Amino acid sequence: MLSQAEALARQGKPHYIEIQGASYEGLTVWINAMVLSAGGRILSDDGQRVVLGAPAAKGVSVIGQLARSPAADPSLGVQMEDQNRLAFETGKAAFEINYPFVYPSAQADVPALARQMGWAEYPRVDANLPSRPPVGGIDLAVSAFSQHKEQAFDAIMCLRNKENQLRNAIKGGLPPTLASLYKDPKLIKGGYPFAAEIFDSLQRGGVRPKTPAYQSVSVALQNTLYPPSVAGPGRLGQLRSQLQDAIESKGLIP
Amino acid sequence: MSAHPGATGVAQAPPQARPRHRPATSLSEGARAERRLGWLLCAPAVIVMLAVTAYPIGYAVWLSLQRYDLRFPAARRFVGLANYATVLTDHLWWTAFGVTVFIAVVSVAVELVLGMGLAMIMRWALVGRGAVRTAILVPYGIVTVVAAYSWQYAWTPGTGYLANFLPSGSAPLTEQWPAIFIFIIIIIIAAEIWKTTPFMALLLLAGLSLVPEELLRAAKVDGASGWQRLTQVMLPLMKPAILVALLFRTLDAFRIFDNIFILTAGANNTRSVSILGYDNLFTALNLGIGSTISVLVFVAVAIIAFVFVKGFGTAAPGQEVGRR
Amino acid sequence: MSTQTTSTRTPAKVASWTVTNTIVIIVALVPVLWLASLSFKDPSTIADGSFLPHRWTLANYRGIFQTSLFTRALVNSIGIALIATVLAVVVGSMAAYAVARLRFPGKQVLVAVTLLIAMFPAISLVSPLFNLWRQLGLFDTWPGLIIPYLTFSLPLAIYTLSAFFREIPWELERAAQVDGATPMQAFLQVIAPLAAPGMVTTAILVFIFCWTDFVFAISLTSTGASQTVPAAIAFFSGASQFQTPIGSIAAAGVVITIPIILFVFFFQRRIVAGLTSGAVKG
């Protein structure tokens, strides 16, 4: 994807790769996806040890590579999902790595451009390893202290029922959690033509590090590898010690 | 923080205007009545302030003495001043402190000058007085977060009108040390100045309105130039008001939060001490360290106030300088 | 109005004042106009970088008034800010008068404590206050916000007002009392009018503080019962969880600036009523 973008740049055509590079959770998502796609991981499964290692070095260097290439949007360092969407809709970009909400938005805002939109799986870091797309989501829960547990539960069942998930997917791009919906023509024809790819992506998806100190871990990642142009293997030593402090809840977080 | 009476000036009630009718040794009926009245009048304010803040401040201090991380509740224990040692030896704290001091000093200094000018305009504008006074005060009345969004969008390349003035390809809000870092700080300072100069202007105007017109006219008749009227008549008479304005504005400037939070979220070392406190308290849920940072901010601000009160002689009421 | 010599209203002066005023107004209002421009921009053109909208739309304004979230927040904001302002001026005046005019022990401690309170970072007070309010049943109520606003605006109110009270000469009060007025009448009819600039200044500052406060509004409210506008804005959402609804935020920002403009415009005449000459002479 990078070489394609660079080729486009040489031809003077729109060539940016839009991705979230601001110092926030989205950057952690990107870093995590790169590390996982390179075959490594950030923390061990139980969240007690920092792993990183050679695959992390590879994943992280890709980030730096993109940020320093002509494919990077100059605003990369302040872009979140929404800014990526806006930049793409103005036609300045060739590629965009974002959540599916951009599709209904483009259909509504810039129909002419939306007709030319295509999609592909999350880009690979290593040509031989399948990519691990980021998985996130919303959890719905009933408080144990609630005085209306029944109604809350009913509300949840309603919120995540088939019709509502269909509607959320088509209007807001939110991938459904009901597997049966992905084969449903109402979804695919209704405005979610990439249902199959999303389903595959979710099967291969990579979750973020599991630890009670997740916020600190995320902030440590955002702090060390920001702006994206400085991301590289040289930063891993500093990252390792910050992550170790984070999972032990030692000291201040930036 | 025990304030020594003299510095605040409140004990120096202008004796020349007080009829002396009390004996020196015991309190007369009048003096007792005066004390009662004084306490009575102050009571509502004191009760409200103490009731709301005593418990929270005490609780924050108590938390700062513990190792208390909400994500590891089992590890909670009393550690005395260890948190303070951790924070005060961390370079993150000192960087944030330096950034905060820089922003505070620069913005207050600029605001003092601009505020003075605006106060004079608000007082003496010949034309469209109502309009210009309202316009001056509007920036202060906008919700800070909304104004910050306005600035952020203005400076984002491609989206905003201000970014159009920059060389293409540069993104001021994201670039790194060292040269452009100053530019980000300047953007933050500019947003801060735009927002709070009206506050200074208003307080300075209050002081300015106490300068008698006759004095200025007399000075003008005596041949004093505009500059001389400013420096030798207005400024000395306004000194108490200037000090109060500086005091309150500096206290606020040191605790800057909203503008930085929206513009950069503290990235790239632009965080202020308040943002550092917020990050550790609410993002990391480390109540011990977060409270420690808050207490340290409080101490720093208290020191600033102390310097103002003792060093510059800021007084709540004005000092009788050259009046009759 | 202040006693100003209007005899020197030459064309040159008028011209120079007009120029000065125009510059000041432009600098003060350009970011506000930018906000207004963002609120009128069609969503697809928000990122186009021009100062004036290419495509105008009222959709953002329609959107924020469609749900009761914003309208309720407006009502809450106006009510809470007005009540807090009145209380702050009244309570503050009482305390400021005592501080400026009367002798009583503990005065210095009071002033010091007042300043102490103004200095503590608000964000760290929020959690304990939230807890306290929850237990007292003040969470998500108007008093629940009015009380903290009162608390944090009193220091500035007391300082500003006592500075004004101090400047008023004793003779006036004595004269009124000699004429047979009670202390209360002396205060209301002699002192208060002279301290009016101070009271108006305080009122403006307190009102704006309550109107624009974000930290307490977010933490001590949760429903339309007491949510003020800054808190409501934080809950605006775009078409999806990722979109910052800058159009709606800008529209809301413009709408809530209008009361401020009115409030300030109404009161700005009274800010600069100087001590009338002649009251003190002789």
DSSP string, C71-104: HHHHHHHHHHHHHHHHHHHHHHHHHHHHHHH---
Domain segments of chain B: what residues? 100-284
Confidence of residue C54 (pLDDT cuts 50, 70, 90): confident
Q: In this structure, what token pair is assigned to residue A130?
A: 């399948």
| Together in a domain, A181 and A219 | no
| Together in a domain, A122 and A158 | no
For residue B178, pLDDT over 60 is answered with no
Selecting from C14, C253, C271 the residue whose C-beta is nearest the C-beta of B205 gives C271
DSSP string, B50-75: HHHHHHHHHHHHHHHTEE-BTTSGGG
pLDDT of amino acid A105 = 86
For residue C65, pLDDT over 60 is answered with yes
Percent of chain A scoring above 70 in pLDDT: 100
Domain residue limits at A13: 2-134+206-247
pLDDT of amino acid C201 = 83
Residues near A158 by beta carbon (within 8 Å), at least 6 away in sequence: A164
Are C243 and A101 an interchain contact pair (Cβ–Cβ within 8 Å)? Answer: yes
pLDDT of amino acid C80 = 95
Percent of chain C scoring above 90 in pLDDT: 11
Q: Any CB–CB contact under 8 A between A89 and chain C? A: yes
Contact list in C for residue B4 (CB cut-off 8 A) is 108
CATH number at residue A114: 3.40.190.10
pLDDT of amino acid C81 = 93
Domains, in order of start, for chain C: 1-57 (no CATH), 67-271 (1.10.3720.10)
pLDDT of amino acid C4 = 47
Per the structure, the count of domains in chain A is 2
Over residues B40-55, the pLDDT tens digits come to 888 888 888 888 888 8
Mean pLDDT, chain A, rounded, equals 87
Confidence of residue B5 (pLDDT cuts 50, 70, 90): very low
From C226, C244, C209, select the one nearest C235 (Cα to Cα).
Answer: C244
Query: What subunits touch chain B, counting only 3 or more CB pairs under 8 A?
Result: A, C
Looking at CATH, the fold of the domain delimited by B100-284 is given as MetI-like fold (1.10.3720)
Over residues C103-126, the pLDDT tens digits come to 778 777 777 777 777 778 887 788
| Together in a domain, A123 and A216 | yes
Are B52 and C151 an interchain contact pair (Cβ–Cβ within 8 Å)? Answer: yes
The Cα B209–Cα B316 span in angstroms is 17
Confidence of residue A157 (pLDDT cuts 50, 70, 90): very high
Are C159 and B135 an interchain contact pair (Cβ–Cβ within 8 Å)? Answer: no
Q: Is B102 exposed, middle or buried (0-12, 13-18, 19+ CB in 10 A)?
A: middle
Over residues C70-106, the pLDDT tens digits come to 889 999 999 999 999 999 999 998 888 888 877 778 7
pLDDT of amino acid B13 = 42
pLDDT of amino acid B98 = 93
Let me know how many helices (H) and strands (E) chain C has, helices first: 13, 0
In a domain, A10, yes or no: yes
Contact list in A for residue C43 (CB cut-off 8 A) is 109
pLDDT of amino acid C114 = 78
Q: With a threshold of 0.90, does the pTM exceed it?
A: no
pLDDT of amino acid B168 = 55
The Cα B1–Cα C3 span in angstroms is 43
Higher pLDDT, C278 or B183: B183
pLDDT of amino acid A113 = 87
CA B283 to chain centre: 26
Q: Any CB–CB contact under 8 A between C10 and chain B? A: no
For residue A175, pLDDT over 80 is answered with yes
pLDDT of amino acid A245 = 87
pLDDT of amino acid C241 = 67
DSSP string, B136-195: HHHHHHS-HHHHHHHHHHHHSTTT-TTGGGSPTT--TTT--TTHHHHHHHHHHHHHHHHH
Q: How many angstroms separate the CA of residue B217 from the nearest CA in chain C? A: 9
Percent of chain B scoring above 90 in pLDDT: 12
Query: What subunits touch chain A, counting only 3 or more CB pairs under 8 A?
Result: B, C
For residue B318, pLDDT over 50 is answered with no
Confidence of residue B189 (pLDDT cuts 50, 70, 90): very high
pLDDT of amino acid B315 = 57
Q: Any CB–CB contact under 8 A between B70 and chain A? A: no
| Together in a domain, A130 and A241 | yes
The Cα A130–Cα A133 span in angstroms is 9
pLDDT of amino acid C239 = 60
For residue A9, pLDDT over 90 is answered with no
CB A249 within 8 A of CB A82: no
From A209, A208, A180, select the one nearest A195 (Cα to Cα).
Answer: A180
In a domain, A252, yes or no: no
Higher pLDDT, C2 or C14: C14
pLDDT of amino acid C104 = 79
Section A80-87 average pLDDT: 84
Over residues C217-250, the pLDDT tens digits come to 888 888 888 899 888 887 776 666 667 777 888 8
Over residues B118-167, the pLDDT tens digits come to 988 888 887 778 888 888 888 988 888 888 888 888 887 666 777 767 66
Which of B106-115, B176-185, C40-49 holds the top average pLDDT?
A: B106-115
Confidence of residue B10 (pLDDT cuts 50, 70, 90): very low
Q: In this structure, what token pair is assigned to residue A147?
A: 């005085």
pLDDT of amino acid B80 = 85
For residue C47, pLDDT over 60 is answered with yes
| Together in a domain, A64 and A118 | yes
pLDDT of amino acid B27 = 65
Sequence letter at residue A200:
D
pLDDT of amino acid C3 = 44
Higher pLDDT, A80 or C188: A80
What does residue C195 show for φ and ψ, rounded to 5 degrees? -90, 5
In a domain, A201, yes or no: no
Are C243 and A82 an interchain contact pair (Cβ–Cβ within 8 Å)? Answer: yes
Selecting from B71, B92, B266 the residue whose C-beta is nearest the C-beta of A212 gives B71
In a domain, A139, yes or no: no
Over residues B250-291, the pLDDT tens digits come to 988 988 888 888 887 777 778 888 888 888 888 888 888 888
Confidence of residue C273 (pLDDT cuts 50, 70, 90): low
pLDDT of amino acid B322 = 24
Over residues B222-252, the pLDDT tens digits come to 888 878 888 888 888 888 888 888 988 998 8
